[in-house]
Structure 1
Amino acid sequence: MKKAVVLLSGGLDSTTAVYLAKSQGYEVYAISFDYGQRQKKELESAQKVALAAGVKEHIVVKTNMNAWGGSALTDTNIDVPLGDENRKEIPVTYVPARNMIFLSFAASYAEVIGAQDIFIGVSEVDYSGYVDCRKEFIVAMEAAINLGTVCAAEHGKNIKIHAPFMNMTKADEIRLGMDLGVDYSLTWTCYRGEESACGECDSCILRLKAFKEAGYIDPIPYAKKA
């Protein structure tokens, strides 16, 4: 069976990516990151999703991106702002070069296990404008990976980065996930590390909007719904 490494945060997008990869016949190796984020609850969700989806292996990589902070997700001195769908600038919830770092780890993992496919749940639709979620970044990162791995550069076994939701609305993604049997009650999207999702940050607002547009009720608890 062909192998795929799937970046699994425990959120809506990455969880759907796990189920999509499985539906396409891949043996899934999930990789999650404890990078010093305030929303540690997402790691609990990632473990639950990996178990429910029956992935072949789930590893958690620990790194300390909170050592330099620079984001509301890794620096407790920076408040998570209220969500704003009309915001034009990149919000402070952007974690500098996060997907670049994550994909580098995923590429190393993929090379070791003999996987030529990496799945990541990024999108340019219904997103906060993060530069490392854009198509041009994914294309460039794939090229860099294939120049920097022996499997590709020396043996011609190129690694492909799949970003299946790049041009898909979150509502359509949820519909797809429902068809694939995703249990979204296991997922966590909120940027704040509290018992219930805040319902007010960018991530919560986008998620709630998507479930409403898809015609489903979001199954996770919220402190409030904006």
Structure 2
Amino acid sequence: MKQKEKAMVVFSGGQDSTTCLIWAMKEFDEVEAVTFHYGQRHELEIDCATSIAKELGVKHRILDMSLLGQLTPNALTRDDIEIEEKEGELPSTFVDGRNLLFLSFAAVAAKQIGARHIVTGVCETDFSGYPDCRDVFIKSMNVTLNLSMDYPFVIHTPLMWLNKEETWELADDLDALDFVRTKTLTCYNGVIADGCGECPACKLRKRGLDDYLDKKNKGVVSS
């Protein structure tokens, strides 16, 4: 049953956050989305998020977090840093403090509109080693936000225990598989839809989609 409360979705215009936005639209009566401009290399990410929110009829705001990109050198904000993943090290695409700050500012924005639900697409199953995508961090953050603002926030993570194949299945269950596949930007190189096919994000996305479509074609999924 749809909850008669407002929700704020942390929204990047990527596969995961778009799936979460559509999930939230089915779960709550009123949904808004917030996108953060943190100095990411591809301005297209902001344009993509804006376009998706407009098409879905969701109120959307963009917050300037460019200071974050200035503070932490990483492959998502710097052209001179190579996108790479080395065993035993955080990926070069990890942005220190990103989800900490995003959830904090999303909570501030949510409180102003009387929303206590915050939705984010973090995932511990396919989290690429990012520490701020872990369930333990989200639970800790939820407590911290509630204490800091004396407000009953609830952070929802619909994808937390799903792998990419299962995330595609969820999108299909929401009747949004084609929408998510063709409208979203997951690629680290800034290519919408199926992406460049070479970066880690594209490879993970494609592998999950191929696995899901293979199972669906064999009739072994519920969608």
Q: How many angstroms apart in 2 are the aligned matches of 1:16 and 1:31?
A: 15
CA contact (8 A) 1:39 1:194 kept: no
Q: Is the 8 A contact 1:39 1:190 kept in 2?
A: no
Indicate yes or no: 2:81 matched with 1:78.
yes
- Distance in 2 between the 1:170 and 1:143 partners? 28
Worse-superposed segment, 30-39 or 61-70: 61-70
Distance 1:187 1:164 in 2: 18
What is the Cα deviation at residue 47 of structure 1? 1.2
Change (3 A) 1:194 1:175: closer
CA distance in 2, matches of 1:27, 1:59: 15
Match of 2:163? 169
Deviation at 1:69, TM superposition (A): 3.3
Q: 1:186: which partner in 2?
A: 183
In structure 2, the partner of 1:138 is 138
Shift of 1:165: 0.8
The one of 20, 45, 49 aligned to 1:46: 49
More moved, 165-174 vs 176-185: 176-185
Separation (CA, whole Å) in 1 of partners of 2:43 and 2:88: 28
Give distance in 2, aligned partners of 1:28 and 1:115. Answer: 9
> What stretches of structure 1 of length at least 5 have no aligned partner?
153-157, 217-226
TM-score (norm 1): 0.86
2:206 matches 1:208: yes
Higher helix share: 2
Write the deviation string for residues 32-77 of structure 1: whole angstroms up to 9, x where unpaired: 011100122221221122122221x100111212212321111222
The 1-side partners of 2:64 and 2:126 are apart by 29
Are 2:32 and 1:29 aligned?
yes
Stretches of structure 2 that go unaligned for 5 or more consecutive residues are 215-223
1:197 shift after superposition: 2.6
Q: Identity of aligned pairs, percent?
A: 39
Instruction: Give the structure, 1 or 2, with the largest relative contact order (CA under 8 Å, sep 6 or more).
Output: 1
C-alpha distance in structure 1 between counterparts of 2:171 and 2:142, whole Å: 25
Separation (CA, whole Å) in 1 of partners of 2:131 and 2:203: 20
Corresponding residue number in structure 2 for 1:61:
63
Cα deviation for residue 175 of structure 1 reads: 1.4
Candidates 195, 198, 208, aligned match of 2:196: 198
1:160 partnered with 2:154: yes
